[in-house]
Amino acid sequence: MTEPARASALPSEGSIGVRLVDVPANSSNDPRARLYIVDHLAPGAVIHRRIEVSNTTATTEHVELYSAAATIEKGSFLGAAGHTRNDLSTWTSVRPRSAEIPAGGSVTAMVTLKVPFDAAPGEQYGAVWAEARSTPGAAGGVTQVNRVGLRIYLSVGPGGPPAANFSIDSLTAQRSPQGQPIVLATVHNNGGRALDMSGTLQLLDGPGGLQAGPFPASPGTTLAIGDTAPVMIVLDERVPAGPWDARISLHSGVLERSARATITFPAAGAAPPVSTTEPIWLYIAIGIAILILGLATLGVVRRRRRRADSEAPGVAPVPTPAPSS
């Protein structure tokens, strides 16, 4: 059995929570690095990350801290059952291993990742878990196990991290069984890192010139390298059928992509997928950037040529004739 690496409420009021305290300086602008341990390490490297485990229940809770395997399947990041191991979990240690956290209190723990020198290149997934168990009554009963996890995305290899990339291939307009309009964006991860998708959809040029949105994408879609999965956007039930100029912007961390398509919501079920195009402003921006770079490069070349001519050996400066009296 697998489960998403996220918070799970305890039987008593409140919950156990985990948050990342340390964010690498080179990832301070990456929203994913503020939530999860996301890194690229060479074989033999060691990193340390502090986490804070909090207790908002009304009683002191005994919490076990450990690492375990995780996978990405069908667009979801899933923590493996129990203490299931993989290579990454064997490289990961948590200290302390357990703690008594008072009601309303917290404890800081250290997560250490030590990559062996013979580690194979590639990306691996895991989770750091804070686990609490309920105490059975005197007459016995069922022990409930609740845990909250912090995701680990670790890329291993020499040099810099692989480049992340994705494409938004199509938009599908459909309705839920209750008639709610929904848009599914088909996203393909064609880069070298896993992705956690978020973003917005806006509808323009609708019936009578109407506009609607932006509508947020439903959270929770994670794409492994090479995967294709839908990202769902649920719209207001009052949105007319269309047609609409649908413009979507999705991002994972600091990586962002935009696309557009003309869609119409069916009376029921799903309409055929519509292939997307990139917004024209993107091509304009790329063209301007290339033009500026080309002009800057040309200016540098010309300055270098002038400097080379003035410094060339055997070329004496031409004297300026004195004014005649």
Q: What is the pLDDT, as a whole number, of residue 291?
A: 66
d(CA 179, CA 263): 16
Single-letter amino acid, residue 189: N
Residue pLDDT, tens place only, 197-232 = 999 999 999 999 999 999 999 998 999 999 999 999
CA atoms of 227 and 75, how far apart (whole Å):
8
Q: Is residue 307 pLDDT above 90, yes or no?
A: no
Which residue, 174, 193, 194, is CA-closest to 264? 174
Type of residue found at 293: L
As to burial, measured by CB atoms within 10 angstroms (0-12 exposed, 13-18 middle, 19+ buried), residue 290 is exposed
In the chain the domains, ranked by start, together with CATH numbers, are 3-135+144-156 (2.60.40.10), 166-280 (2.60.40)
User: How high is the pLDDT of residue 30?
Assistant: 86
| This prediction's pTM | 0.78
Number of H helices, E strands in the chain: 3, 21
Q: Which residue has the tokens 């998403």?
A: 4
3-state secondary structure 112-136: EEECCCCCCCEEEEEEEEEEEECCC
pLDDT of residue 263: 96
- Contacts with 199 (C-beta within 8 Å, 6 or more apart), sequence order: 216, 217, 231, 248, 249, 250, 251, 256
Q: Average pLDDT of the chain?
A: 85
HSE of 224 in the Cβ direction (CA atoms, 13 Å)? 13
Do residues 63 and 52 make contact, with C-beta atoms less than 8 angstroms apart?
A: no
Q: Is pLDDT of 300 > 70?
A: no
Distance, in Å, from the CA atom of 133 to the CA atom of 146, rounded to the nearest integer, reads 6
pLDDT above 60 for 241:
yes
Q: Is the pLDDT of residue 317 over 80?
A: no
Is 17:6 a contact under the CB 8 Å cutoff?
no
For 258, the token pair is 């935009």
Q: What is the pLDDT of residues 92-116, one digit of tens each?
A: 999 999 999 999 999 999 999 999 9
